[in-house]
Structure 1
Amino acid sequence: APAAIEATLSKLPFIQEVIVVGTPHPLYGEEVTAVVISRETVLSEDEQTAQIKAYAASELSKPERPTTVIYVTDYPRNPTGKVLRHQLIAKIKENALEKNV
């Protein structure tokens, strides 16, 4: 359940907002991806990722743990501010394809 994972990861002080989505994985079909908007912090993205994964390992079951963490400045939203998960997933897929070209 993405909402439960998001609630858990949101407890980390450097996370302003987090959305958890399933993204394509070549072997397993899908993987848990945390898409993070960070607060201003002295931590690098690599340090934040390490802390997210360590925290997830202690607080979440193995299938719930994000295997990928992506950092963004905002999410695609509808006029009321709701995150458009399908557009977010499409953008992640698009960026993954561009990296493989």
Structure 2
Amino acid sequence: MKKFCCVLLALLPLTAFAYPIDVEKDLNGLKIDYNAFDTDNDIGSIQVNNYGDVDATCKVVFTNGPEAPRTRNIDVAAGKHKNATAKFTRTIIKLRIKLSCTPK
């Protein structure tokens, strides 16, 4: 039983696959907030929340190392939220997200 517990504890670090996420934002005075997530080892996502009274158009660019950046354009209504995701062909080591929003 002790050996089984030792093996189980030794394998515990293999279950964590979190990677760092850097977000660069350009909000142009809008009341926008975001939450970035590490959905899977090759999928990144961001939730954009609009707390203002004006609808916003946001451009989200996901970058993972040498791969081509993935661009998503989303419209976020006032008082609502939207999600944007990107899937890469390689495992993400560090995800960089550029979020830029303008009033609609």
Greater RCO, 1 or 2 (C-alpha within 8 Å, sep 6+): 2
Larger Rg: 2
TM-score interval, normalised by the smaller of the two chains: 0.3 to 0.5
How high is the TM-score relative to the length of structure 2? 0.33
Higher normalized strand content (fraction of residues): 2
Higher normalized helix content (fraction of residues): 1
